[in-house]
Each structure stands twice: as structure tokens, then as C-alpha cells.
């Protein structure tokens, strides 16, 4: 404990679990895009692909643990942190109206997602008219892309919000 702040906390553990979950969800998408890289690494290291995947996850878990716990420790030193998670597991009062804030966030996220997809299609078409054909072709199974979105929504957010701190 340093100045009343613990380096390891249950909140940090939840955040770390979420970030590792996001890393796990990314693996099927990466494997679908670059299966030869997994096979090449397995041959070069004389290991099986499942062992390569397990080592990759172990590496991610260690790095994400360092990022999460050190970032949360630094955030608390600055008077920041994860107030919703802290309140949820300590049974405290929430710092603001979570339901209303969540609804606003979801609506704004959906609007921005459609805007980004629309602008991407427009600029792709303007720069290369045949590019819309490539945009509509599936490169991977949709469920793999859906799972990969958890990496961006959880793991990358934790990395950016805590590690950059």
C-alpha cells in the first residue's frame, strides 16, 4: 500500500479480466486474416499452433496486467480511477445517473458508427469507384468481426485510458 492506495485491487482485477477477454476475442479474427503467420511461427519455433496461441495470450495477459494495474494506480494518485466499478463492488452510491448516461452513449455510438461507415463508403467510392465491390465482400466470418469488436471496445479503451495516464 502506497499512500493509502493499493496497487492491486478488485477493480483492477475486473478491468484486467475484461482486457484479457478482449484479447481472446481478437484471436479468431487475426487467425482468419493471417493464418500463414500462425503456421510460420509454429514451424519456426517447432511448436503447435495452439501452443503459439496460448503463448500469445499469456504475453497479452502479462502486458495488460502491467498496463491495467499501473494505470489504475496512477489514476488514483491523480484523484481519478474507475468510479462505477468501485461503487459497484463496494456497494457505494453511483457518481451520476448511469442509466441516462448509458442510453445517451449507446445512441451516440450507433449514430457515429453509421456515419463512419457511410463516410468510408463515400470516400472509397470517390477515390476508387470499384472499391465498393471490395467493401461488400466478406473477408472473414461476421462472428469473427463481432468478437474482434470487443478488443477495441474493452482492451484498447483500457490501454488508452489507463496506460496513457
Place of cell 467493401: 135
Q: Model's pTM, two decimal places?
A: 0.73
Dihedral of alpha carbons 20, 21, 23, 27, sign:
positive
pLDDT at 102: 82
pLDDT at 5: 56
Total number of domains in the chain: 1
Asked whether residue 67 is assigned to any structural domain, the reply reads yes
Asked whether residue 101 is assigned to any structural domain, the reply reads no
Q: Which residues of 15-43 are buried (b: 16+ CB within 10 A; e: fewer)?
A: bbebbbebbbbbbbbbeeeeeeebeebbe
Q: Per-residue pLDDT tens for 81-136? A: 777 777 777 777 777 777 777 888 899 989 998 999 899 888 877 777 666 566 55
Asked whether residue 34 is assigned to any structural domain, the reply reads yes
Q: Per-residue pLDDT tens for 66-76? A: 999 988 888 88
Asked whether residue 4 is assigned to any structural domain, the reply reads no
Grid cell, residue 75, equals: 489514476
Asked whether residue 35 is assigned to any structural domain, the reply reads yes
pLDDT at 89: 74
Asked whether residue 148 is assigned to any structural domain, the reply reads yes
Domain of 27 in residue numbering reads as 10-95+141-163
Residue whose C-alpha is closest to residue 57's, from 91, 93, 31 = 31
pLDDT above 50 (res 4):
no
Asked whether residue 110 is assigned to any structural domain, the reply reads no
Asked whether residue 120 is assigned to any structural domain, the reply reads no
Amino acid at each position: 500500500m502506497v499512500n493509502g492506495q493499493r496497487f492491486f485491487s478488485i477493480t483492477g482485477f475486473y478491468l484486467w479480466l475484461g482486457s484479457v477477454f478482449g484479447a481472446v476475442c481478437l484471436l479468431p479474427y487475426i487467425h482468419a486474416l493471417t493464418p500463414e503467420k500462425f503456421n510460420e511461427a509454429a514451424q519456426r519455433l517447432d511448436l503447435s499452433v495452439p501452443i503459439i496461441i496460448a503463448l500469445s495470450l499469456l504475453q497479452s495477459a502479462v502486458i495488460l496486467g502491467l498496463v491495467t494495474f499501473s494505470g489504475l494506480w496512477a489514476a488514483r494518485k491523480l484523484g481519478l480511477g474507475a468510479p462505477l466499478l468501485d461503487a459497484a463492488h463496494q456497494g457505494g452510491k453511483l457518481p451520476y445517473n448511469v442509466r441516462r448516461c448509458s442510453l445517451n452513449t449507446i445512441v451516440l455510438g450507433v449514430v457515429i458508427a453509421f456515419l463512419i461507415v457511410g463516410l468510408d463508403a463515400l470516400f472509397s467510392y470517390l477515390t476508387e469507384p470499384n472499391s465498393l465491390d471490395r467493401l461488400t465482400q466478406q473477408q472473414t466470418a461476421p462472428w469473427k468481426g463481432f468478437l474482434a469488436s470487443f478488443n477495441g471496445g474493452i482492451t484498447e479503451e483500457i490501454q488508452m485510458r489507463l496506460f496513457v495516464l
